[in-house]
A and B are shown apart, each in its own frame.
Chain A
């Protein structure tokens, strides 16, 4: 007997609107219907009414977590149209901010995933260790998010020399803490039992659905825009692309945790290069002069924490974009739930949909309808988290942990 369970439009875990209608047979999900668009803000159209230099401030607001990735991809799209290269110092500063963003995004997700499976210690650790990172971003850019560092042709401000020591100190500390969290995840038999073989999305499926970022790399689909389409100084830096093979929730967590180490390595290399350059002499090291934007088109891609962000711009020679297309990675990744959720249980559905680190916007509620009997009842966010935590508790009891 197949029943339908609607989850959303308010996501049970991430407090963001999304609507998943689960078709279930008992506790097993046999099909899923996804509806997006609950917080469509018309940013693409709005962007076409902003001047070229105003757009970075707008696209920072596409996503609070990716508030560096979107303007980064946008300025690269304009620079692709102009065929210009930005100063080396600006390139390294861009990469430092972008990688700091990756670190705080991955820590945020790991914390939320821990909370959802009933591991609130992981949640507290991750969010605690994320704080010094946000402090550094605030010291460097003036904000914990929405850094306003990107501009066409370079960056808005330098990183003061006295901050290098603080950044290095924070990175050293974070390396240890990330090691601690990674080991806690990798060595825990309960987490293994709770997340392994759950929500599998394999390499072939990743390719068909255009999966991106950790969602793709966890399934063995080796794509990373930083290596494949290197922008700025990424081509000069030494880092590994983390790829697993099973494509389950466990691998998605492992990919993110290991990527944190790579991000730290990248930032250290950028700091080394900036130190070699010495103090900034004049503003030309931060940004090149950009005149009018001629007619043409440009594509900008950047590997955001959730996967590749793509911005396409077209100019007709005026002072605003004639067309600005933004494709966030979640647009591709959320669709992967069509294949990864069926075959799993209701208690796992919320975890799987959260494992792609989806980016919606903010609210929460869950409804459940028995279409055969017509019975209708609502599950709160707490109910779904309780369901998931109970399953973890059950596994823990069985394993004697």
Chain B
């Protein structure tokens, strides 16, 4: 479906809840409110016949920006849908029940940024090791100091901490 037609149909359906921007003829960015996030993804995937590609999380002071890519392959352009999950408890509805291919990327965004995807079928961390503290979200910038690895280079237990990436001795995770 042509770019202009897609933009028109999305604007008609979601009105003021979306903002559409275009960086070039191959890149369309749609900023969506949380409440229509799943509907918009479903509309693009099921009604407008876009392909689902993947997602990205970006940490920010006030929340986590989450975006998913929906390429239109026949016409050769990408639609990127963005929304913002506010801190301190970023939450979004999961699009996995609509698009099974989004399952792992949502799990990854959860474990890297602590975005809780409601209604996700299996929100387990997919990438991190079991030895990491439960509240360690590697891409969240504000908690890194707390979990910073030991700088002590003696041969005692601290060296193990350095390897496992565990919190420093005496600090609760």
Contacts and interface: CB of A to CB of B under 8 A. Distances in A.
Contact of A332 (B24, B56, B101): B101
Contacts of A211: 101
B103 A40 contact: no
A297 B65 CA distance: 13
Given A208-B99, A229-B71, A230-B76, A331 B104 contact: yes
B71 A37 contact: no
Contacts of A393: none
Interface of A: 35-37, 40, 42, 44-45, 80, 83, 207-211, 223, 228-230, 296-297, 299, 301, 308, 310, 312, 314, 322-323, 325, 327, 331-332, 335, 338
5 contacts: A40-B129, A210-B51, A228-B71, A299-B69, A327-B105
B101 A210 contact: yes
Interface majority SS (helix, strand, loop, mixed), chain A: mixed
A332 B54 contact: yes
Nearest to A44: B139
B132 to A, nearest CB: 10
Interface in B100-123: 100-105
Given A37-B127, A40-B128, A299 B27 contact: yes
A283 B142 CA distance: 44
Nearest to A208: B100
A48 to B, nearest CB: 9
A30 B72 CA distance: 35
A223 B23 CA distance: 24
Given A42-B138, A80-B27, A228-B74, A209 B101 contact: yes
Interface in B114-153: 125-129, 138-139
B120 to A, nearest CB: 14
Contacts of A327: 53-54, 105
Contacts of A296: 23
A74 B129 CA distance: 27
A228 B26 CA distance: 11
A360 to B, nearest CB: 12
Nearest to A209: B101
Contacts of A223: 51, 73
Contacts of B54: 210, 310, 325, 327, 331-332
Shortest 8 CB-CB contacts between residues of A and residues of B: A210-B101, A37-B127, A228-B73, A327-B54, A325-B56, A209-B101, A40-B127, A210-B52
A37 B131 CA distance: 13
Given A208-B101, A310-B69, A322-B58, 4 more contacts: A80-B24, A210-B53, A223-B51, A327-B54
A245 B127 CA distance: 33
B122 to A, nearest CB: 9
A361 to B, nearest CB: 12
B94 interface: no
Contacts of B99: 208, 210
B78 interface: yes
B57 to A, nearest CB: 8
A3 B129 CA distance: 26
Contact of B100 (A209, A228, A230): A209
Contacts of B83: none
A37 B104 CA distance: 11
Which one of B23, B24, B26 has the highest number of Cβ atoms from chain A below 10 Å of its Cβ? B23
Contacts of A312: 56, 69
Which one of B52, B99, B103, B104 has the highest number of Cβ atoms from chain A below 10 Å of its Cβ? B104
Nearest to A222: B73
A299 B80 contact: yes
Nearest to A308: B53
A36 B126 contact: yes
A209 B102 CA distance: 8
Contacts of B58: 314, 322-323
A23 B73 CA distance: 37
Nearest to A83: B24
A207 B102 CA distance: 11
A312 B71 CA distance: 14
Nearest to A223: B73
Contacts of B23: 296-297
A301 B73 CA distance: 12
B74 to A, nearest CB: 7
A28 to B, nearest CB: 23
B113 to A, nearest CB: 11
A37 B24 contact: no
B27 A310 contact: no
Nearest to B77: A229
A45 B139 CA distance: 7
A229 B70 CA distance: 13
A236 to B, nearest CB: 15
Contacts of A45: 138-139
Contacts of A229: 26, 71, 73, 76-78
B128 A37 contact: yes
Contacts of A325: 54, 56
